[in-house]
Structure 1
């Protein structure tokens, strides 16, 4: 990702709030991982929403607070200093530009790999930051969140009555897993008053291409998901819980039974928003296709592809594109 000159506020996309149904704000499924019936509830949430909130998780709040503190130190630094930690190509610091195809948003971010060593010395140029502290904070946090992701994936496999309980989680546990970690910062945007109550887009509508995404944010609103009926709903902020997205790869592996959720982030005119996302991805050479045990005599909706093939295809697309359409069997028959 190449960091270009920051666009003016006039260039940022906006969203019409009249298409957001406030009566649906509290429809987000809440899964208590300590409850014995949570397996069936998770399967239902993945089928109906592709998204749910997790409570009673085992991720220590100490790790959450430590990483958030380090991230806030970084993002509060002058832009000239932050740019020394980029450009994000693909890893490092990025600002406003989302991907190589012209998408922009009111966001800055840090992107790092989770299964290979990253040069945290990029952050040493900012005097208030200690690269070793950032590395330790990221590693502690990602280790715990990865455990939760694998637990959820194994519960899903059990709920789907798949004999191999680790059929999904083993892809994240593989030492060659192509998982990444991203921290997004959305500065408060007082300029939105210029748009008659509409909001500037922080991160445009999209699905996540990986298997599963684990998200948390500070106590600031902005995240929205798209329902099957075409309504956008706002997700109430919750700084101590986690939100989980079904990714495109999991949709394919379940032959469309689970749906990859389309989501976006709107700016907040009063408070900045900090979100931290673990994207659980398979190894680059892993073949992605519907699991035979889930076909049950049905035709496969997708042709087989490797994660590397899909990753390259997704990177070439626009943010809001339906990336899976090129891999649907009907589209290529």
Structure 2
């Protein structure tokens, strides 16, 4: 029997524990208003690595359609869901069943040799449906046969599902581009610095289902982990369950903010910023007798990008904390580990 992983209750969030940032002034405002928002983002990324983003420009109707499609898909029978599970080594697109108790590595652990060799990924009761970014005809890698550009495995008989997911991808990639500009301004870099590193991004999207805990089962939806991305964009339903670790080691509950996305820094961005932006432990715990659904976008740079601390953020007082790595190698290793933890004994 798989061991169950349980967590003590998290503290109620402090008023300013995870900032709520209004993105409208950045999207539509003056140069000074954009700079003011960038300062708020910089503060959040330095202190806890998380923030809520409101007035982000993505229609609420689309956000709710994504959650509705998630509920419909995960309500299918196991046989139907497994019909669109990955089939080839190293792939992770399609349906992934729950993988049992596990936790991630230390913050930044995915950047270390030890972390890359780890056999497990963060687990729990989480079921997922994962998608790669749909490439457009003008993408540099549009015709590439390389398996790192995986083919999406869509569920049968669900044209509305496919349309909703593609529209959602386009909306979130547009939002991601604006966030990249905000990060660059916050760091005193050229506004297009990160945009240039994500021209044909290995962006991945996920629908997430955390079932209501059954009697005697563990309550961990997904174990404590950091994300191996540039940054992550999370859409939550109204059930809640996200918990975040503060810099001093406390766990705080992150309540649902209506209309907001949750943005968090990943290990790749932490490496670029030489530790100025922090990748933070987080987890999902099913503390209510309800099913929970969410959707994520993990923003990853182009395959040929070498990730290393930005030169402007390195000096005698701030020596480089991370070794350079090729994103192609990094992402291949991540996909293979993910697949192996799912489907290999």
Cα deviation, 1:57-113, whole Å, max 9, x if unaligned, reads 100112112222222111111112111111473111011127963753111100110
Counterpart among 121, 127, 141 of residue 108 in structure 1: 127
Structure 2 CA distance for aligned equivalents of residues 276 and 206 of structure 1: 17
Tell me: CA distance 1:161–1:23, structure 2 relative to 1, closer, same or farther (3 Å): closer
Counterpart among 11, 17, 32 of residue 21 in structure 1: 11
**1:168 equivalenced with 2:194 (yes/no):** yes
Moved more, 147-156 or 84-93: 84-93
* CA RMSD in angstroms, aligned pairs only: 2.4
**1:12 equivalenced with 2:4 (yes/no):** yes
Aligned to 1:123: 155
State whether residues 238 and 256 of structure 2, in contact with CA within 8 Å, keep that contact through their aligned partners in structure 1.
Answer: yes
Query: Higher strand share goes to which structure?
Result: 1
1:65-84 correspondence runs (5 A): 65-84=64-83
Structure 2 CA distance for aligned equivalents of residues 274 and 201 of structure 1: 14
Aligned to 1:32: 22
State whether residues 22 and 53 of structure 2, in contact with CA within 8 Å, keep that contact through their aligned partners in structure 1.
Answer: yes
Aligned to 1:136: 163
Aligned to 1:303: 323
1:169-318 correspondence runs (5 A): 169-172=195-198, 174-175=199-200, 177-191=201-215, 194=216, 200-297=219-316, 298-314=318-334
Structure 2 CA distance for aligned equivalents of residues 251 and 274 of structure 1: 28
Q: Which structure 2 segments of 5+ residues have no match?
A: 26-32, 103-118, 136-148, 339-345
**1:152 equivalenced with 2:179 (yes/no):** yes
* Larger RCO, structures 1/2 (Cα 8 Å, 6+ apart): 2
Structure 2 CA distance for aligned equivalents of residues 16 and 32 of structure 1: 32
1:76-95 correspondence runs (5 A): 76-87=75-86, 89-95=91-97
SS across alignment from 2:98: strand
State whether residues 52 and 244 of structure 1, in contact with CA within 8 Å, keep that contact through their aligned partners in structure 2.
Answer: yes
Aligned to 1:323: none
Structure 2 CA distance for aligned equivalents of residues 315 and 113 of structure 1: 11
Tell me: CA distance 1:44–1:227, structure 2 relative to 1, closer, same or farther (3 Å): same
What TM-score results when the alignment is normalised by the length of structure 2? 0.79
- What's the CA shift for 1:311? 2.9
What TM-score results when the alignment is normalised by the length of structure 1? 0.81
Aligned length: 295
Structure 2 CA distance for aligned equivalents of residues 101 and 30 of structure 1: 33
Q: Which structure 1 segments of 5+ residues have no match?
A: 1-7, 319-333
State whether residues 66 and 295 of structure 2, in contact with CA within 8 Å, keep that contact through their aligned partners in structure 1.
Answer: no
Structure 1 CA distance for aligned equivalents of residues 94 and 13 of structure 2: 39
